[in-house]
Structure 1
Amino acid sequence: MEKLGRFNRDIPDLVLSKFRIRDLMQMKCVSKLWRDLISDLISNRSFALNHSQKQLLSGFFFRQKSLLYDFPHPSYVSAGREDEVAPTLLRNPLDFLPPNSVLVSSCNGLVCCRSYSFWDILTIHVGNPLTREWVEFNWYRINGRADAIMLSFDPARDITDDSTDFKVLMVWESPEEQYPSFHLYSSKTKRWKFLYSDETYILSEYYDLYHTECVCVKGAMYWCTHYSGMLAFDAENELAYTVSTPVQAYEFGRGEPVACIGESDGELQFVMLSKEGLRMWVLEDLHGEKWSSLRYERSLADIKYEHAEFSLDLQEAMRLHQLKELKVDALALKDGVLVLRVADNVFLYDMGTDRINRIAHVTELGNGRMFDPKVPPYMEVPKVIPYSMSLVPLNRP
């Protein structure tokens, strides 16, 4: 290794470019020489750009969210499909950001956070946990509440040799206005743009965005607010619209189902779980309502055959769920990996490999109070955010 400096740097760069990003970060711990070599490599913008076009699931952030408050200091669980070891739990992985930053969304390797206080000027932070780079900008209004803050970033479109561009959508509710309003921040112009649309106002009033998770697919944002429809917003064309779900709740089977949406390979996935089993559809037209036929289907009997202990917990939890005692919830979906809460435990269910991993007891996540079984479900609302590791470079102002 000491002689690497005598050779053309293209040779080690070419070899190291074949490794996964996670492997490169682990190799930095081998020696000081390896650390310097890899640090120089990943600081090269062209290398970072080549590794930013394809992101695979790395893990999930878990953050406590109650009816009235959002809490900082999330936990992180690794969940890469290529990992053979059990998921690992990390505490406060976003410690490179200003203190008390509240994680609100993640998109293609970048995370978006806001300042904790609602009473002062709201500050937004967009950062890369891998490179520990971040930028910040302020929201220009004080009197009101952010119903939703969502990051939109598409590496195929928003990265050039000179800049990394992203957009942040703010759904703002103010006592001075009849309906919530949509505002869009562009890192290119460094300005907020007020989006006036009667349809947007009506949609955002009808759909509860504050307590609903959002998924970004190729610049379009989707909120699955109930089992009959979704609210969508196209950040590129600045257009809001609705998308129906592939199946209505009453069509799926006995009992009240559990559903969530996710992204994989640029497609929007819709998963529904009931006493009949687990099913998944894919939205074939991102700006329409054409859903595929079933892409995945597993009955509870099939799951029980391969994962007996997990299935017994799931069946009992579904029975209690049907009795309105919330014991089952689909928390997040990314690249076919589903995060499930079953009774007082949280699991990762990989629909591609049918592998199930228990992450932790609910009290071990967040700051120790997430999913507290002694607290009514409507008072403790989990926020689980998928994350894909990336070398996306950010531009400091």
Structure 2
Amino acid sequence: MQKMKKLKSSLNGDIMFDILSRLPVKPLLGMKRVSRGWRAMISSFPFIKSQMEKTGLSLTGFIFQEKFQWCSDDIKTVSHIALDSQSSKKVLHNVFDFLPEYVVILASCDGLVCCRSCFPCSDPSVYLCNPSNKEWIRIQWPWHKLKPSRNESIGIAFDFDSDSRKECNEIFVKFKLVKLQFCLDEYEDEDEDDDEEWYIEFHVYSSETKEWKVSSEVCHCDHNLIKNKGVHIGGVLHWLTDGDQVLSFDVEKELALLISVPVPAFEFSTVPEACIGDHNGKLHYVLVSEIGLHVWYLEDYYEFKWTLKHFKDLDEIEREYPQFFLNLKNHVSQRVSMESSPWMNPLGFKDGVLLLKVCATLYLYDIDNNKISHACYVQDLSPKSMHDPTVFPHCLSLFPLKLA
């Protein structure tokens, strides 16, 4: 009789495991409160791995944070723009209020978010957190060696399937952070006066050693980093620069590469706007110009081979969505200098979805299904400064944050 009860309990557990592991993350987060047994099962390594294999990570929205152009203080408000059109609230504010202080978002990868303390701050910290389960860890930072800067750029390299393990029935997450440090190299030229050259150092933090180290790799680059900093794809981090290049860094091999974009800005009569993102495990480059909206993906890193995946003429976009756009091409064509704000600005791209700002409105453009929907208005984001906002895609995930 006892054996029959154990068998029945085991079969019921297997059935429940199979059913629940087919559900998306959002309902599972609520189901963890049903009982201790369900919480233990949903939090286990086999369950999270199975749920990932069956459902994958789906884009839920974009994290949006503004920054002042000329002020050294940070803007504390962080907004989440929901992808779900059925959501009761398309924009949520203060989504990181579970952290011990106000933060600035630095990077996002597979549901994990890296951020730092808002400035001014007497004792700044770096955090890695999962907003889905509100777990976070504070990461040691060598402030005494490197003066904290408002323009810090840190990327996350994280892969739950390959970089996590189960020991003693607990899940330990492995990840690396990569911080870019601009340095000035001064040298003497035999034929000329003293000269100088900018280069980038890569400071790497490992969750296994819990220490930062300076990589032997450097990259000679004097361009500014803009938008979508630290996009992680297959173990490689990517930063878009304002010099018609994408900086990439292979985290395991610690090798850097500058990748030329498909079309340089000087080939257009107006000033184009671009962003980068990930779709199907490939780096994508989205560009808006007076010609139209282009989406390329990178086929080969070393040959800089880009393939055009999608193109839409601006007049065609206006014809298909007259309720949203008027004189689109004319407005875009009027931008002839970097000093003027772009009328049409691609802010973020992930899994075929583009967050697009047009004048004072934000739209979601589903490239694969050729569908544009209204996301929100700029005023919904509690705007203080629309200069170069930080935008990252975000996915809900069950990944716990526990270090070995």
Tell me the TM-score normalized by structure 2: 0.83
Q: CA deviation at 1:111?
A: 0.6
AA of the residue aligned to 1:51: Q
AA of the residue aligned to 2:349: L
Query: Which of 59-68 and 112-121 deviates more?
Result: 112-121
AA of the residue aligned to 1:311: F
1:125, 1:249 → 2: CA distance? 36
Q: CA deviation at 1:119?
A: 5.7
2:74, 2:279 → 1: CA distance? 27
Alignment of 1:59-78 (within 5 A): 59-67=61-69, 68-78=72-82
Query: Cα 1:161–1:36, aligned 2, differ >3 Å: closer, same or farther?
Result: closer
Give SS of 2:127's match.
strand
Give SS of 1:270's match.
strand
Give SS of 1:381's match.
coil
Q: CA deviation at 1:118?
A: 6.0
Match of 1:382 in 2: 389
Indicate if the aligned counterparts of 2:226 and 2:241 stay in contact, CA closer than 8 A. no
Alignment of 1:156-235 (within 5 A): 156-162=161-167, 163-172=172-181, 181-197=201-217, 199-200=218-219, 202-203=220-221, 206-209=222-225, 213-226=229-242, 228-235=244-251
From 12, 15, 30, the equivalent of 2:19 is 15
From 147, 155, 165, the equivalent of 1:144 is 147
AA of the residue aligned to 2:204: L
Indicate if the aligned counterparts of 2:91 and 2:380 stay in contact, CA closer than 8 A. no
Match of 1:96 in 2: 98
AA of the residue aligned to 1:343: C
Give SS of 1:51's match.
helix
AA of the residue aligned to 2:390: K
Give SS of 1:161's match.
strand
Query: Cα 1:58–1:211, aligned 2, differ >3 Å: closer, same or farther?
Result: closer
Match of 1:375 in 2: none
Indicate if the aligned counterparts of 1:45 and 1:393 stay in contact, CA closer than 8 A. no
Q: Does 2:92 align with 1:123? A: no
AA of the residue aligned to 2:48: A
Identical aligned residues as a percent: 32
Q: CA deviation at 1:61?
A: 0.6
Q: How many residues align?
A: 373
Match of 2:313 in 1: 299
Gaps of 5+ in 1: 372-379
Indicate if the aligned counterparts of 1:159 and 1:165 stay in contact, CA closer than 8 A. yes
AA of the residue aligned to 1:352: D
1:149, 1:210 → 2: CA distance? 13
Deviation by residue 1:97-144 (Cα, 9 ceiling, x = unmatched):
221122211001111111224664442111111122221112113452
Q: CA deviation at 1:86?
A: 8.1
4+ residue segments displaced more than 6 Å: 4-7, 174-178
1:262, 1:301 → 2: CA distance? 25
Match of 2:189 in 1: none
**Structure exhibiting the larger radius of gyration computed from Cα positions:** 2
Query: Cα 1:385–1:341, aligned 2, differ >3 Å: closer, same or farther?
Result: same
Q: CA deviation at 1:75?
A: 0.8
Indicate if the aligned counterparts of 2:237 and 2:249 stay in contact, CA closer than 8 A. yes
Match of 1:392 in 2: 399
Q: Does 2:320 align with 1:315? A: no
Q: CA deviation at 1:269?
A: 0.4
Give SS of 1:392's match.
coil
Give SS of 2:23's match.
coil
RMSD after superposition: 2.9
Greater strand fraction, Structure 1 or Structure 2? 2
AA of the residue aligned to 2:175: F
Q: Does 2:82 align with 1:44? A: no
